[in-house]
Structure 1
Amino acid sequence: MKHRRTYLGLAGLASFALAVAGCSGNNGADDAAEASDVTTLKVGVLPNIEALPIYIAAENGIFEEHGLKVEPVPAQGGAALLPAVLEGSTDIGFSNILTHMTAVERGLGTTIVASGPHTMNPDTLEPVGEHNSSVLAVTSDSGIEDVSDLAGKTISVNALGGIQEVAVRNAIDSTGGDSESIELVELPLSQAEGALSGGRVDAVSVNEPFTTVVLEAGHREIASPFSDFEHAASNVSIYFATEAYAEENPEVIERFRAALDEVNAYINENPDEAREQLDTYTDIDAQIRQKVTLPFYETRINEASVEEIMQKGAKYGVLESELPLEDIIGNAPTLTGTE
């Protein structure tokens, strides 16, 4: 059964939960019985904008409504989440979709539990904010007008051989440039604006909150890598578990998805209020936080986007070859599956 709630603000959520608890009339035995039905779930996340649903749902009783006690397990980088899930110290992890594809290609036994955020609303194809969530940016006085001017230039990405490199190369090749003519360098997103301002790179590929940091510094967008895919509402990230865990705990997976459905709907309908919750687990500056473009939070997989990213991953050598779509998606809910 799908649970629904009318959201009156996060403070209202907390008050509502307390009121229900205070008026329930349950005695100690009832409380103990209910507690025994709650499943503890360790969810590995990165302390960034994409993790917003996990923190809001955990802090405001949404997971509890679905019989879950979710413990967010912050990781410093995505590379740590895959081994944590494989070794069992984390039940569900968060990853970009291309990392999951490489795990499938290597036969590591992972499966998608639910989609992570999409880059924009698939119905409107509009960003949830004043600018795109990911951009390829240059200095305002660089003389670089579009991607065709990037030949021989140096561009930073957060990781070589990853999804950002694939997105940048595709954005350049699909809009009139030549990605073979550029030099890519690896640079943490937090250092991108300084490197661009200091002239150490000619362009930077960034995503939120660093998109806002770069644009607020006066730099200029010349492309939006993840929106320049043919399927602009890119399904960039996913929640995943081991196949063994998913097979042994199907009801837990369903409850996790149902809770995500609920909190995702709230965030998508109340982006300004949701932005304010970023200060509970990130160190994003308050002025930047108010201006960041949120992704579109979704539980269902965009099959067309996943297939396109897989094909581009193979084209640019991150994957050894194209993979069957069913091997990537598994039993995860899809957008087309609900039509």
Structure 2
Amino acid sequence: MFIRRIRAVLAPATTVALALALTACGSDSGKPETGADGLTELTVAVSPGAATSTPMYLAVENGVFEDLGLRLDLKVLEDGSVAIPNTLNGQTQFSMSGFGAAAQAIEKGLGIKMIGAANVIPTDPESKYQAVIVNKAAGIKNMKDVRTWAADSTEVDPAQAHAVDSLGGNYTALKRVAVPFPAIGDTVADGTVDAALVNEPWLSVALKTGKTEILTYVTGELAVPGSPGAVFIGSDKFMTANPDVTEKFIRGVRTAYDYAADHMDEVARFVPSTKLNDQVPPVVALGEYQRGPLDAAKVQRLLDIFERYGAIKGSVPADKMIHGS
């Protein structure tokens, strides 16, 4: 597997609880250091997922941030639950975070904002990046036949719940089984569960077992096309105290992911250079990258789904969650 996924990033309640505990003493808004060469030095936390983070490594290699007067020290988030508290206490100036964790933290008033996104839910209606797969021997014809479901956590996943219910199933009635993410396809293949929602590269791996089949690809109204997956966050205090640095970083992130979206083959070839994985992935496994700034309307659609399934209260609209909106 060339991409790893951090479960804590996808467990918002755990992340926010830790953030509340670790930031009780306040947050840091200090001025970042400047190197002898005049570059402003920033520590930025990124996902261990190669597809998500490779555009940042490629941008650093290509001098995108240096051209903006910034030197980035990219730190891999082996434990995603510390992304928010580390941003608040100044260990990192900016960080990737799961969308759900960031939305919950903002709603609780923890003093962060979303400043951009790395990847998005695919917008191509013909996308084959993610699908609901079922055990081939189970005789499942539609989502109503599904009784057991594998995911990397038993916590409610609003995006998966939306897909299941839109297909005529009943997400809350499913028996959800927690499985380490790379093994979810195997759990469907061996019949431990009926079904799961799986994305590339694990989708291709699961299908190659010959024991799973696709019930449906998850696109269009089954998803929220163009809405963010992994987002970048910054603390309100740091960004208020350092507006120029913040705007330069945001500009660099947009440049990085705009370039990645237009040069997917180059991104795939660069993956081994990141040391996040030593294999060159197929381009389809990279998914789709964010182009330009966060779209508040698309973020709001995702927030509405999170509210519907109880992940957030819905008290903060999208334009108040995005820095500069």
TM-score range, shorter chain: 0.7 to 0.9
Q: Is the 8 Å Cα contact of residues 122 and 219 (structure 2) preserved in structure 1? A: no
Q: What amino acid does structure 1 have at the position aligned with 2:183?
A: Q
- Aligned twin of 2:137: 141
After superposition, where does 1:86-235 map in structure 2 within 5 Å?
86-121=88-123, 125=125, 127=127, 131-132=128-129, 134-150=130-146, 153-161=147-155, 165-218=157-210, 219-225=212-218, 227-229=220-222, 231-235=224-228
- Aligned twin of 2:28: none
Q: What amino acid does structure 1 have at the position aligned with 2:78?
A: Q
SS at match of 1:331: coil
Q: Is the 8 Å Cα contact of residues 120 and 290 (structure 2) preserved in structure 1? A: yes
| TM-score using structure 2 length | 0.80
SS at match of 2:285: coil
**1:196-242: per-residue Cα shift (whole Å, max 9, x none)?**
22222221223343233333444323245575456422222310011
* Whole-angstrom distance in 1 between the partners of 2:126 and 2:139: 28
* Whole-angstrom distance in 2 between the partners of 1:119 and 1:65: 30
After superposition, where does 1:1-339 map in structure 2 within 5 Å?
35-48=36-49, 49-121=51-123, 125=125, 127=127, 131-132=128-129, 134-150=130-146, 153-161=147-155, 165-218=157-210, 219-225=212-218, 227-229=220-222, 231-280=224-273, 281-283=275-277, 285-286=279-280, 288-289=281-282, 291-331=284-324
* Whole-angstrom distance in 2 between the partners of 1:212 and 1:279: 20
Q: Is the 8 Å Cα contact of residues 147 and 223 (structure 1) preserved in structure 2? A: no
RMSD between aligned residues: 2.5
* Whole-angstrom distance in 2 between the partners of 1:59 and 1:47: 18
SS at match of 2:197: strand
Q: Is the 8 Å Cα contact of residues 167 and 226 (structure 1) preserved in structure 2? A: no
Alpha-carbon deviation of 1:264? 1.9
Q: What amino acid does structure 1 have at the position aligned with 2:93?
A: D
User: Percent of counterpart pairs with the same letter?
Assistant: 23
Q: What amino acid does structure 2 have at the position aligned with 1:277?
A: F
Label 1:320 to 1:47 Cα distance change in 2 as closer, same or farther (>3 A).
same
Label 1:206 to 1:322 Cα distance change in 2 as closer, same or farther (>3 A).
farther
Q: Is the 8 Å Cα contact of residues 136 and 222 (structure 1) preserved in structure 2? A: yes
Segments of structure 1 that go 5 or more residues without pairing to the other structure are: 1-32, 333-339
Q: Is the 8 Å Cα contact of residues 112 and 331 (structure 1) preserved in structure 2? A: no
Alpha-carbon deviation of 1:285? 4.4
Q: What amino acid does structure 1 have at the position aligned with 2:42?
A: L
SS at match of 2:287: coil
Q: What amino acid does structure 2 have at the position aligned with 1:38?
A: L
Label 1:230 to 1:283 Cα distance change in 2 as closer, same or farther (>3 A).
closer
Aligned length: 289
